[in-house]
Structure formats: structure tokens, C-alpha cells
Amino acid sequence: MQLNLEHVPFDCITRFIEGVAYRRTMEQKSATDVFSQWAIIGKDEGMERGHAPSVKAMLELALPKVKEDFTAIDLGCGNGWVVRLLSELGASHVEGVDGALEMINKANSVDTEHKYSHGFLPEWKPEMRFELVHSMEFLYYLQDPAQMISIIHDEWLTDGGVLVAGVDHYLEHEESLTWPEHVGVHMTTLQISQWKEAMELAGFTEIEIHQVASKEGFPGTLVMLGRANH
């Protein structure tokens, strides 16, 4: 069936389009609410197992670039498993931040040694700078991931500090393009060149882009790596 919109007033069409966009927004849940729920029903543990091969590869790329007793933070740390892993791998200070209260409650319930902050990004600010900023499967939940990458460069990292960030939702990973609708949360879809450009615009040097832990039907976690240059 073909729609003939020739005689429909323009403002009616505009109102209809705005209505569809509004309903879509209303149907979307906040990522932090969804992940709080995941923590309650134990889905964080499956996520930890699923992300482990990519994080292992990311840390193999990043750790040779920092000194042995580095300081670190994990953004969007979930239940805090990477915080504890970084501590085992030699971090002298490591902490995590996440906007899902139940993820933070879970992290605190299994680990009283490290600091886990409940904070909404990009607004939340750390109390110190770090030699390593790690983030796995977090950045694309933001409306403006490039802005967060700039903030990490300017405000979170020491001069010469390293960012390593991994994302599984990106334009070239076709299967991931249905995730926003499937999960019902906002995801910002960028292509590989746009992630790289965000690193360049933020001022990072020694930028590396990798796809790690690929397997049949999965082109790999897209990893961005760079050194802060203040």
C-alpha cells in the first residue's frame, strides 16, 4: 500500500514523526536500571564470563605500557570483577565506578578492600588521576561517547597514562545493531573510524585500534588504546 501524503498538512506529518520518536524514547529504559536488575538476578556473572576473553586480550595490550605498580580505575565496572583482576595483576591502587546501584552493592558485598563508587557518567568525577583507565562494554551507553573519551584524557588520566576501552556494539558488528531495540536501552552506534577519530580528537597519542577475541559470527571486541598527552 502506498501512502499519498500530498494533501496532508506538513505540521500533521511533523507531529506524527515526533510522536513516534517520543514513544520510542518512552519505551527505552535507562542502562543503569537494566543492569541493576541484572545484578539482582545474577546475570552479571554470565556477563563476566562472556567478557573475560576480551578483557584478558585488552590487558595484554595495555599492561606492558604502564609501570608495574600502576594506579587504575574501571569505568562501568559492573560487579567489580576487573577491579579485583587488576589488583591481582599488580595495581597499587584500583577502584571502580558504575551507575547501577545493585552492581555496586554486589561489588561491595564480595570485596571490602577496594573502593566502588556509585556514580552516573559522564557527570561523576574521580578524586585522583590514574595511570590506567579501563572500560569494557560501557562507552556506547552514553549519548556522547566521544565527550567521555575527551574527559578521560583531560581529567582522569595522568600525563602519559593509558586508556584501554572495549566495545562490542559498533557499526561493523552487524549482529549488534539490533541490541538497542532488543535490550530496550539507548546505544550510540559508531563505526570503527569514528571511535578512532574520537581518540584522536581527545588528544591521545600512540593510538591503537584492535579487534580481539573474534570467533565464528563475532568480529571481535573493538579495542581502543591510547596514551594521554597533556
Ligand X SMILES: C[S@@+](CC[C@H](N)C(=O)[O-])C[C@H]1O[C@@H](n2cnc3c(N)ncnc32)[C@H](O)[C@@H]1O
What is the contact mask toward ligand X in residues 28 to 67, using x (rule: CB under 6 A)? Answer: ---xx--x-----------xx--x----------------
Upper half-sphere CA count for residue 48 (Cβ side, 13 Å):
17
Among 100, 133, 149, 165, binds ligand X (CB under 6 A): 100
The angle at the Cα of 29, spanning 34 to 222, to the nearest 5 degrees, equals 65
With the C-alpha atoms ordered 76, 79, 85, 88, is the resulting torsion angle positive or negative?
positive
Stretch that binds ligand X, among 15-23, 63-71, 132-140, 207-215 (CB under 6 A): 132-140
- The answer to whether 160 and 133 are in contact (CB under 8 A) is no
Q: Does 208 bind ligand X (CB under 6 A)?
A: no
Site for ligand X in 15-34 (CB under 6 A): 31-32
Among 70, 116, 130, 138, binds ligand X (CB under 6 A): 138
- Cβ closest to ligand X, residue 177 vs residue 229: 177
| Residue 2 CB partners (closer than 8 Å, separation 6+) | none
Shortest Å distance, C-beta 212 to ligand X: 14
> What does the binding site for ligand X look like in residue numbers (CB under 6 A)?
31-32, 35, 47-48, 51, 76-78, 98-100, 103, 120-121, 136-138, 141-142
